[in-house]
């Protein structure tokens, strides 16, 4: 009861937000920087990621090697990349952009490649049979066959990039992330609330932009001038590079003292518990929410309300939820799992709802024609038709959450991130690299297991 009272009073301290004109004038520049960094990251990610995905999707020679490389890159958390980028490129938006570019090239490349590989093969075979070259097969087969999912995932990853753009700021990558961490660390909760509201509005407008892009993909071209301008305005500080290489060389080889090594398995286990617990909580919340948000399942008056709830859960990054839950529920893995669960429920809820809405209409209409009611049509048609994307999204989320679980530790929400952050703060760079390597292996393991489970879920529904 006492803890609940404390939690309640902490929550009250976040209100009302600081909306004074002087503060709003002040945050304008960091907000613009955050948008620009996300756009620049996506410009690089799309220009490099799509060609790589096409190369993999057409099963060109050595495509497995590219998948391996992309998976390996993707397995390094964005915040960790940002810490490294800050060391190499120097403080400021250039570091943030570099981290986002690397991370989202790997993400776009890998996810698009998976979608291409999962595309129906028969139409592609018939294209190949005409003697069409690879690029033609991609343009006339792969991309049209997977376009709905490509656009969904492309705009979704732009949303992620916008949130990540805030996150990388937290370790010196520029933008409102730096402001937010400063406000929370300075116990200036009203300004933190203002920044969280701005963040939510930002993500909501990116959501709308994503919807517009799905309707008219040409709108995505807006990203290019914004991204390129931000890159030109924020060049890396070259003189830091030489120093950075020296520092980077000092981080190698990764090394742990015996005591830290003995504690490592328990740390990894706790990280996994945060990730699995968070994903399970998210799945439990997301399935009913997604049905309530799918316009082909319930009335649009209800979907609009449910979607706002999902938007709020999703707009606030795990790290920020973790900041709030650590303040409210105390330091430890529970705060981490709650943070991942709430944020992922928002992400999965939206993706599941889109999966429900994207199902083939012919079988659903056939079921309705038998006189079946709403719930049976969902159970026999919409749900099984969407189970593939649902399994894929959940497994991707679990992978993502393993990564996120390593990151939330950095602000006291448990797991390996705490040790990583402490090593970095004490400039024990070899130890830090050892934790990064352990994180990396953990994420790769999650990737492999995810792949297997995804495949099995696809089959399980049939063989009751």
Partner 1 sequence: MLSVIDLTVRYPSQAAPALQGICLHVAGGERVAVVGPSGGGKTTLFRAVNGSVLVQSGYVALEGERVGEARGAKLRALRRRIAVIAQMHDLVDRLAVYQNVMAGALGRWSSLHALRFLLRPSGAELAEAKAALERVGIPEKLRSRTSDLSGGQRQRVAIARALVQRPTVLLADEPVASLDPARSEQILALLCDLARERGLALLCSLHQPELAMRYFDRIVGLRHGRVVFDRPAAKIEPEHLVFAS
Q: In angstroms, what is the minimal distance from the CB of 302 to partner 1?
A: 18
Our CB check for partner 1 shows the closer of 133 and 376 to be 376
Contacting residues for 286 by C-beta, under 8 A, at least 6 apart: 344, 345, 348, 349, 352
Cβ atoms of 193 and 14 within 8 Å: the answer is yes
Buried b (16+ CB within 10 A) or exposed e, 247-282: eeeebeeeebeeebeeeeeebbebbbbbbbbbbbbb
What does the CA dihedral 212, 217, 223, 228 come to, rounded to 10 degrees?
-170
Q: In angstroms, what is the minimal distance from the CB of 292 to partner 1?
A: 17
Cβ atoms of 219 and 28 within 8 Å: the answer is no
Q: In angstroms, what is the minimal distance from the CB of 277 to partner 1?
A: 26
Cβ atoms of 336 and 413 within 8 Å: the answer is yes
- CA distance linking residue 110 with residue 325, whole number of Å: 32
Binding site for partner 1 (CB under 8 A): 360, 362-363, 365-373, 375-377, 379-381, 384-385, 387-388, 458, 461-464
Our CB check for partner 1 shows the closer of 220 and 395 to be 395
Q: Is 90 helix (H, G, I), strand (E, B) or coil?
A: coil
Our CB check for partner 1 shows the closer of 333 and 389 to be 389
Q: In angstroms, what is the minimal distance from the CB of 301 to partner 1?
A: 18
Our CB check for partner 1 shows the closer of 129 and 462 to be 462
Cβ atoms of 254 and 430 within 8 Å: the answer is yes
Cβ atoms of 173 and 21 within 8 Å: the answer is no
Q: In angstroms, what is the minimal distance from the CB of 223 to partner 1?
A: 35
Q: In angstroms, what is the minimal distance from the CB of 156 to partner 1?
A: 23
Our CB check for partner 1 shows the closer of 261 and 366 to be 366
What kind and span of H or E run contains 32? Answer: helix 21-57
Our CB check for partner 1 shows the closer of 16 and 373 to be 373
């Amino acid at each position: 009861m006492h803890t609940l009272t404390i939690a309640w009073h902490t929550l009250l301290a976040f209100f009302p937000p600081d909306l004074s004109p002087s503060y709003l004038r002040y945050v304008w520049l960091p907000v613009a920087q955050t948008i620009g960094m996300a756009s620049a990251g996506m410009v690089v990610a799309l220009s490099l990621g799509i060609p790589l995905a096409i190369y993999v999707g057409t099963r060109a020679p050595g495509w497995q090697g590219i998948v391996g490389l992309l998976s390996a890159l993707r397995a390094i958390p964005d915040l960790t990349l940002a810490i490294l980028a800050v060391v190499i490129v120097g403080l400021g938006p250039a570091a943030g952009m570099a981290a986002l570019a690397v991370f989202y090239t790997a993400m776009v490349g890998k996810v698009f490649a998976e979608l291409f590989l999962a595309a129906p093969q028969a139409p592609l075979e018939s294209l190949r049979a005409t003697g069409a070259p690879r690029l033609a097969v991609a343009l006339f087969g792969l991309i049209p066959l997977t376009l709905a999912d490509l656009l969904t995932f492309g705009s979704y990853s732009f949303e992620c990039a916008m949130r990540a753009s805030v996150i990388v700021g937290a370790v010196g990558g520029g933008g409102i992330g730096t402001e937010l961490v400063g406000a929370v660390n300075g116990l200036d909760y009203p300004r933190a609330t203002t920044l969280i509201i701005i963040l939510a509005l930002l993500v909501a407008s990116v959501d709308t932009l994503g919807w517009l892009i799905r309707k008219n993909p040409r709108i995505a071209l807006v990203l290019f001038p914004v991204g390129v301008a931000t890159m030109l305005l924020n060049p890396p500080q070259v003189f830091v590079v030489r120093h950075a290489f020296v520092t980077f060389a000092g981080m190698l080889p990764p090394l742990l003292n015996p005591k830290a090594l003995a504690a490592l398995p328990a740390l990894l286990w706790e990280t996994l518990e945060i990730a699995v617990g968070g994903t399970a909580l998210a799945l439990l919340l997301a399935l009913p929410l997604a049905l309530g948000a799918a316009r082909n399942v319930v009335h649009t008056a209800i979907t609009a309300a449910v979607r706002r709830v999902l938007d709020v859960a999703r707009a606030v990054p795990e790290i920020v939820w973790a900041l709030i839950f650590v303040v409210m529920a105390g330091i430890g893995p529970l705060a981490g799992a709650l943070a991942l669960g709430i944020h992922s429920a928002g992400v999965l809820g939206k993706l599941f709802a889109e999966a429900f809405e994207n199902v083939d209409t012919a079988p659903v209409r056939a079921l309705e024609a038998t006189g079946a009611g709403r719930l049976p049509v969902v159970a026999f048609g919409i749900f099984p038709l969407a189970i593939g994307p649902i399994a894929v999204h959940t497994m991707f989320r679990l992978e993502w959450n393993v990564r996120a679980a390593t990151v939330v530790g950095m602000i006291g929400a448990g797991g390996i991130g705490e040790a990583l952050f402490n090593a970095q703060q004490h400039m024990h760079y070899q130890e830090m690299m050892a934790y990064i390597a352990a994180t990396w292996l953990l994420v790769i393991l999650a990737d492999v297991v995810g792949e297997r489970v995804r495949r099995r879920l696809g089959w399980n529904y049939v063989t009751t």
